Chain A
């Protein structure tokens, strides 16, 4: 009996060696994975609706009704592509309008080339853009084309899933107008609040 007990305990002790696992693997960086929202070559299409405030035509926030131009609106659509995890390049096209105090309408269609830097934190993305381009501006039977557009923007987006993000932006738009008769030279300053969605692919 004692012989069987000794034999059984010996087998039991040896079996622990068979199941005991030593960690022999080295720490290999080739297999480390870091997940980011945007990689070089990632693209997105953004669409947005905005309220536009004319800043230098008189009147007061928010409707500017007593000014020469009142608060208007615009819609925008654009395509952007990341050249690395932080920077993107793209184009935006908008259509905007603003009513005048004389019951006429000022309309404009700006096309801008946008340079964007986009830091992120967890699911939040903070795009900061600078746009430069041209616009077709129309008022009664007058057309000013193409007019220079300068447009810095900043916003915050929430990445709901890998394909969609939603957020808001604020932007400032500068629209200078130059003529052969310099007394007609003028510049329009506008600020917008944008609600936007982006489709990433």
Chain B
């Protein structure tokens, strides 16, 4: 047999030998979990997903700011296990889809939150025209009282008149932080809204912005100064608050029970503390925790939305992060995959597992479709509904 044939044979045998011992990412098994994608109703950049108690009908809603304002009745998903559970079927889930456009103020909405009284606060940005070009103009904080729907949307006012009247930010201050953050808790009574305006934190109540200084800055070095870049807030009891300049600050509070632990993803760690702790503890290091953009608690683990899809930080029996991770079951790993950034994540009933409650997430990506494998058609709001509803993730 000549040299060429010998070389071909040898190469073929080597390839075959290597292939028998191969292993890597799960492919066919993941493909079998895929589902046919539904037509999306909310496909814009989603800025906020927050809970709202509507005082006009005493129902729980989920609101989404994505330029416009969407709302959905999630009362069925929030009543399981409570005295007001109507159907008692043991399943915490609402119907898929069913989003409606809510009334909104002028401009494009970005951040938003609501409080225990059913007041909704949003930041709305308007554009102006300079030399026939559309440019950012003004950002304004508006509020809406669900107990007085006829009053419509109004501009929030400063409590301290020396700061002005309307809470706005002009385009000349474009680099300043201007962001609404809320505790967004499952318990209505623990919901509070704050505004970070150029590094000063204000509490928003009754349409008035009052400067707030008594919170704890929850940086992982246990300092207590509120950072100028604060972007999240959490609470154990609804009366004292923890602020962080890290995204993903969350607790294990559920519809019935107060929080026992607070969690803060930062760098390669998950920091955690109880209400009685004076400082943070941290999990084992795991690079999968870095780049966290959002977090929500379930009894299966803390589901993190990251710059590269999602991760689930696993917990031990005492709710302490182990440092290990997993991926969402079913088609969650295919939909919230590493090509996308997951900016929002919320489990409606944190007392359930990751397959026991409705979970909503929003995804986006950087760059262009030609430079990544992401597609703009998948950007927007996604949701998981447990069995017997759907038991899979799909577009909303």
Contact = CB atoms under 8 A, between A and B. Distances in A.
A113 B15 contact: yes
Contacts, number: 123
A102 B36 contact: yes
A140 B376 CA distance: 15
A103 B375 CA distance: 9
Contacts of A111: 15
Determine the interface band of chain A, counting residues with CB < 8 A from chain B: 35 or more
Interface string B374-387: 01011000000000
Interface in B1-43: 1-2, 4-5, 8-9, 11-13, 15-16, 18-20, 22-32, 34-37
B20 A104 contact: no
A134 B19 CA distance: 6
B199 interface: no
A144 B32 contact: no
B241 interface: no
B19 A148 contact: yes
Contacts of B378: 103
Q: Which of B22, B30, B36 has the most CB of A within 10 A?
A: B22
A185 B378 CA distance: 29
B16 A148 contact: yes
A179 B12 contact: no
Given A68-B31, A101-B35, A102-B331, A145 B8 contact: no
Nearest to B331: A102
A103 B24 contact: no
B16 A141 contact: no
B37 A139 contact: no
A57 B27 CA distance: 13
Contacts of B9: 89, 113
Interface string B356-396: 00000000000000000101011000000000000000000
B325 interface: no
A68 B36 CA distance: 8
A100 interface: yes
Given A113-B15, A134-B18, A149-B19, A68 B32 contact: yes
A178 to B, nearest CB: 6
A186 B35 CA distance: 18
Contacts of A175: 28
Given A57-B31, A81-B5, A101-B35, A134 B22 contact: yes
* Interface size, B (range): 35 or more
A90 B34 CA distance: 37
A140 B23 contact: no
A146 B11 CA distance: 14
A188 interface: yes
Interface stretch (B86-94, B116-124, B335-343): B335-343
Nearest to A135: B19
Contacts of B37: 101-103
A142 interface: yes
A103 B32 contact: no
Interface string A37-57: 000010000000000000001
Interface in A123-140: 132-135, 137-140
Contacts of A81: 4-5, 8
A180 interface: yes
A165 B131 CA distance: 67
Interface string B190-229: 0000000000000000000000000000000000000000
B338 A140 contact: yes
A148 B22 contact: yes
B138 interface: no
A118 to B, nearest CB: 16
A143 B22 CA distance: 11
Contacts of B334: 102, 104, 140
Given A91-B8, A132-B12, A143 B19 contact: no
B337 A140 contact: yes
A102 B35 contact: yes
Given A91-B11, A141-B338, A106 B27 contact: yes
A149 B338 CA distance: 28
Given A91-B11, A103-B375, A141 B25 contact: yes
A74 interface: no
A69 B30 CA distance: 11
Given A83-B1, A89-B5, A177 B32 contact: no
A187 interface: yes
A147 interface: yes
A10 B20 CA distance: 92
Nearest to A177: B28
Given A81-B4, A102-B331, A186-B29, A68 B20 contact: no
A90 B30 CA distance: 34
A159 to B, nearest CB: 23
Interface in B25-82: 25-32, 34-37
Given A90-B8, A103-B375, A133 B19 contact: yes
A39 B203 CA distance: 89
20 contacts: A57-B31, A81-B8, A89-B8, A89-B9, A103-B377, A104-B334, A133-B12, A134-B22, A135-B19, A139-B25, A140-B373, A145-B24, A148-B22, A149-B19, A178-B22, A179-B23, A179-B26, A180-B23, A186-B27, A186-B28
Shortest beta-carbon contacts, A-B, top 5: A113-B12, A142-B25, A102-B34, A186-B28, A134-B19
